[in-house]
Structure 1
Amino acid sequence: MFRFAITSAALLALVPTAAAQTVESSAGNLTATVIAEGLDHPWALGFLPDGRMLVTERSGQLRVIDDGVVGEPIAGLPEVYNQGQGGLLDLALAPDFETSGQIYLTFSERAQDAGLQRGQGTALLSARLVLEGDSGRLEDSTVIFRMNNFTTTNRHFGSRVVIGQDGNLFVTLGERGDQDRAQDMMDLAGAIVRIAPDGSVPDDNPKPEGWAPELWSKGHRNPQGATLRDDGVLFTVEHGARGGDEVNMPRAGGNYGWPVITYGVDYSGVPIGEGTEKEGLEQPLHYWDPSISPSGLDFYEGDLLPDWQGDLLAGGLSGQLLVRLDVEGDAIVGEERLFAGQLGRIRDVRVGPDGAIYLLTDADNGRLIRVAPEG
């Protein structure tokens, strides 16, 4: 409780006097205030124990934001494949980060950096973050996981990393623009994998016959949001093609259908697969048609917006909006759209220790934005 109080106070101190935008919502008027800007396509946000924040930039930098000031790049980051949708992607702080400094970073890796012959793929780095002023360095860095089939396309890398309640890691992986890979059960593309913190395979992974042992679920297109509910259940959002963006609750051993079933069509308008449902394939909890290109996902568990407790928050890239999904049990029963077209492409959504909602916008001059009740 003492640590939380310090963190909340520090986050509130970050809010500068700046032009703000206000919208009406089911929780009252909400104001979006820019906390920091000048970020190069920021991808993921994390909260440090002292109230500062960490942000990844797709071009390969990890930075500390302190009182609205963006620090110098942290040293020791891996080389990333910064082309198309690739680059430095998600981050997660270990539960014992305050004492261990342990963090995880997902990124798109070049084959030559992985000791492979060609292409690029998604990888997961484990490292110890040493903070020094407004910057720092990574030490003891190790790539603990990489997808098992690198290809030359520059899209659909995923990728989010979520730490489960048991300490194991969920990593979301896109199908790299080759839709059939999502139904190849020995290919880690188009999947959610579950690995131990050292990169090994947990003994209790589902392991259906014919599945690679790292797999948790398959049949995903390009999952760019993932979070845990307070009971430890994983939720994800993923991009469809033209329509068919999905919210899923991936269960162990589940096949979520792409590209056999989908609620979208190809960008040309041609149907994809066999329809919207098929025996043995899982249905989404919710889908969008037309697409909003969801990215970033978090459950609201703060005190500032009590009416939203337990609801999901997702960002929209092409939709340029913040979405609240009304969750009851394992069902999504309603949707509320906020700030449509006002803030830009929303890449990440995180609920801060102070109960405010923090957003990252995907742009050359990307911004960190705090959303909280007016006044």
Structure 2
Amino acid sequence: MPAFFRQTMLAAAAIAAVAATPAAAAPENAGPNKATTKLPFQAQTVARFDLPWAIAVIDADRLIVTTKPGEIFLVNRQGGDPVEVSGVPKVEHAGQNGLLDVALAPDFADSRRIYFTYVEPGDGGSSLALARATLAEQQGAARLDGLEVIWRQMPKGKGGQPGGIIAFAPDGKSLFLTSGDRMRPNTAQDPDLALGKVLHLTLDGKPAPGNPEAGAGGVRAETWTTGHRNPYGLAFAPDGRLWLHEMGPKGGDELNLIEPGVNYGWPEVSYGDNYNGTPIPKPPTRPEFREPALYWNPVIAPAGLAFYEGDLFPAWKGSLLIGGLKTQSLSRVTVHGDSAHEDERFSMEGRIRDVAVAPDGAVWVIEDASPGRLLRLSPR
């Protein structure tokens, strides 16, 4: 078994032992319900885009930004207009669907390869797609070369809530991908549909060795965890553990510690209710499902997730930074073992869609708006 998976399984065993105690088993509702306007940072507007969706940091000054209508841009905060990247495939842009996440390949410095997700149109509807390509730059222009779709969610269908967040394993040899339930809740519990799941894939988009049902074939062989609704945040902590947040229905946004083979319960349980007001059983009533580490009532509509390990904000080291769409905020969450607590919530006066941390310790966020600002946060 590769070292990464040995470490993951050992961490899972240790966490399970902690979770057996009553104190660790009970999740916590969010801390702050009001965002502070006394901000410890200043926000510099670097660029504006039509419905920006995701950020990938190249270095302290350069970023990649995707927009939901289907554009990719290179941004340099030192000056000049954003450069649009050509060769982007056609996307299904409607409602929550469109061009989604973007991430640098683990060997980006040498390969110049990027991975990105989008909702792909086609016969019978649309579906989540994972693609990769080489980012080529020459004389102020940029394009995608060698584009290939390495994974598709099939069959195609209708609905929003696509998920589509990418996180590379700490060893750089595989990746994790969130796939939402596409507003068809029961799919999250269907082991043969790649909806409502976290998938673990090789860098070529195949089922990764060591998955809980690696020998089963099909979607089962790709699946790492199941029972998710609308996951728009996925990131590895400095200790190598994987964290995810997902939007609940009417209440019940969740932050979850992701462990192999675990079922997180959607739509069978939730700390929220259906939009029509009918109740959903709460997680303690079904112990076979994993409780969230933290939940929000009322919701924040979380989007974007990054662990802070920079030097500009020393008090934030080890914290999770989470954007809030509904609350128009940036939340700082601390993690202790398998529990979590929202320590601070900062008023951003805009729907925060994604969060990223640059090598110099600055925090970058984008707004879900048209135009939506790309902001660089640095200490006052």
TM-score, normalization: structure 2?
Answer: 0.86
Counterpart of 1:196 in structure 2 is: 202
Shift of 1:212: 1.1
Residue 225 (str. 1) matches residue 233 (str. 2): yes
Q: Which of 345-354 and 327-336 deviates more?
A: 327-336
**Residue of 162, 165, 168 corresponding to 2:167:** 162
Distance between the aligned counterparts of 2:341 and 2:83, measured in 1?
Answer: 44
Distance between the aligned counterparts of 2:296 and 2:157, measured in 1?
Answer: 29
Residues 68 and 276 (structure 1), Cα distance of their counterparts in 2 relative to 1, 3 Å cut: farther
Q: Percent identity?
A: 40
Cα contact 2:207–2:214 (8 A) shared by 1: no
Counterpart of 2:151 in structure 1 is: 145
Residues 218 and 209 (structure 1), Cα distance of their counterparts in 2 relative to 1, 3 Å cut: farther
Shift of 1:300: 0.7
Counterpart of 1:44 in structure 2 is: 54
Counterpart of 2:7 in structure 1 is: none
**Alignment gaps of 5+ in structure 1:** 1-21, 112-116
**Alignment gaps of 5+ in structure 2:** 1-35
Residue 106 (str. 1) matches residue 106 (str. 2): no
Residue 182 (str. 1) matches residue 193 (str. 2): no
The residue type equivalent to 2:378 in the other structure is A
Cα contact 1:64–1:135 (8 A) shared by 2: no
Aligned residues: 340
Matches within 5 A, 1:109-128: 109-111=120-122, 117-128=123-134
Distance between the aligned counterparts of 1:121 and 1:74, measured in 2?
Answer: 23
Distance between the aligned counterparts of 1:212 and 1:73, measured in 2?
Answer: 38
Distance between the aligned counterparts of 2:287 and 2:335, measured in 1?
Answer: 26
Shift of 1:151: 0.8
Distance between the aligned counterparts of 1:134 and 1:331, measured in 2?
Answer: 47
What SS does the aligned partner of 2:244 have?
A: strand
Counterpart of 1:253 in structure 2 is: 261
Matches within 5 A, 1:84-99: 84-99=95-110
Q: CA RMSD in A?
A: 1.7
What SS does the aligned partner of 2:283 have?
A: coil
Matches within 5 A, 1:302-321: 302-321=310-329
CA deviations 1:244-273 (Å, max 9, x no partner) are 10001111111000011100011222112x
Shift of 1:72: 3.5
What SS does the aligned partner of 2:187 have?
A: helix
What SS does the aligned partner of 1:160 have?
A: strand
Distance between the aligned counterparts of 1:310 and 1:127, measured in 2?
Answer: 32
Residues 335 and 135 (structure 1), Cα distance of their counterparts in 2 relative to 1, 3 Å cut: farther
Distance between the aligned counterparts of 2:309 and 2:181, measured in 1?
Answer: 32
Shift of 1:231: 2.5
Shift of 1:30: 1.9
Shift of 1:152: 2.0
Distance between the aligned counterparts of 2:295 and 2:129, measured in 1?
Answer: 28
Residue 294 (str. 1) matches residue 278 (str. 2): no
Cα contact 1:149–1:188 (8 A) shared by 2: no
Shift of 1:135: 3.5
The residue type equivalent to 1:162 in the other structure is A
The residue type equivalent to 2:50 in the other structure is D
Shift of 1:50: 7.3
Distance between the aligned counterparts of 2:110 and 2:263, measured in 1?
Answer: 38
The residue type equivalent to 2:141 in the other structure is S
Q: Which structure ranks higher in relative contact order (CA pairs < 8 Å, sequence separation ≥ 6)?
A: 2
Cα contact 1:302–1:353 (8 A) shared by 2: yes
**Residue of 177, 185, 189 corresponding to 1:171:** 177
Residues 354 and 255 (structure 1), Cα distance of their counterparts in 2 relative to 1, 3 Å cut: same
